[in-house]
Amino acid sequence: MVKNRSIRILLMTAFCSLAVTFTAARAGATGDTFKQSAELGKRTAKTSQDVDKYVTQLDKTEHDLVLVSQAEGKDVKKRYESFREEVKKLENAQKHATSDINEMKSSGAEYFSSWDTSIAQILSPELRQASIERRSKVMKDHDELNVSLSDIRSQLQPFMSNLRDVEAFLGTDLSPANVAKASEMIQKSRADAQALKGNIAGVQTTLKQFLSEAPK
């Protein structure tokens, strides 16, 4: 009888230990997902801010490029130097935006993986299904946003290369004749800048919408 009682105690102890471990695992999974959700929100907000900054800097760079093409006499060198500084700032803004896009994509992958783990811990069929459907919707929105951001990212470097070409070409000779020769590339750069801003405008809206609708 003592032996049976000891066995029951051992079984109860093992069961309690398993219950505690299972509860801790569920709590841990939930905590990780909550943490990853906050991280994705932070990365998305930073991406949105730095994309906005890029557009602001793009406006300034385009403005100074126009001034170079319109400048005369001693003003040409002054306008050119200002344009060069704005190009440097634009390149820096591009690096920040590109880095943010990459980090946001990485954070999203970690978040949805953690969400999967949390779903596996939900015992209620109704709540589990609701979480699966919510995850599917958020992931779809995130994937579509990533595609748009990737499209924008692929356009940034070619545009920057054109600006660098204009900068290098004018840097060798700021005579009226040389500035006139650059007019075609300047016009192309302006048109590309307008097109780029138009494309980015849609992404800016989508970023803010994702931020407002994503899990908190």
pLDDT tens digits, one per residue of 112-122? 999 999 999 99
Give the pLDDT score at 141: 93
Q: Is residue 175 part of a domain?
A: yes
pLDDT for residue 138 is more than 60: yes
pLDDT per residue as tens digits for the range 167-177:
999 999 999 99
Count of CB atoms within 10 A of residue 10's CB?
Answer: 10
Q: Is residue 43 part of a domain?
A: yes
Rounded CA separation 154/115 (Å)? 30
pLDDT band at 216 (very low <50, low <70, confident <90, very high): low
Percent of the chain with pLDDT over 90: 74
DSSP state of 123: -
Q: Is residue 8 part of a domain?
A: no
Which domain range does residue 154 map to?
A: 30-213
Percent of the chain with pLDDT over 70: 85
Question: What is the mean predicted confidence (pLDDT) over 141-155?
Answer: 91
pLDDT band at 30 (very low <50, low <70, confident <90, very high): low
Rounded CA separation 170/93 (Å)? 23
Q: Is residue 180 part of a domain?
A: yes
Question: What is the mean predicted confidence (pLDDT) over 50-65?
Answer: 96
Whether 215 and 38 have beta carbons less than 8 Å apart is answered as: no
Rounded CA separation 61/67 (Å)? 10
Q: What is the mean pLDDT of the chain?
A: 86
Q: Between residues 8 and 210, which one has the greater pLDDT?
A: 210
pLDDT per residue as tens digits for the range 119-136:
999 999 999 999 999 999
Q: Is residue 1 part of a domain?
A: no
Q: What is the rounded radius of gyration, in angstroms, for the C-alpha atoms of the chain?
A: 28
Give the pLDDT score at 33: 84
Q: Is residue 65 part of a domain?
A: yes
Output b/e per residue, 120-144; b: 16+ Cβ within 10 A.
ebbeeeeeeeebeeebeebeeebee
pLDDT per residue as tens digits for the range 82-93:
999 999 999 999
Which pTM value belongs to this model?
A: 0.81
Let me know if 149 is exposed, middle or buried by CB neighbors in 10 A (0-12, 13-18, 19+): buried
Give the pLDDT score at 19: 38
Here the CATH number for the domain that contains residue 87 is 1.20.120
Q: Is residue 79 part of a domain?
A: yes
Q: Is residue 113 part of a domain?
A: yes
Number of domains in the chain: 1
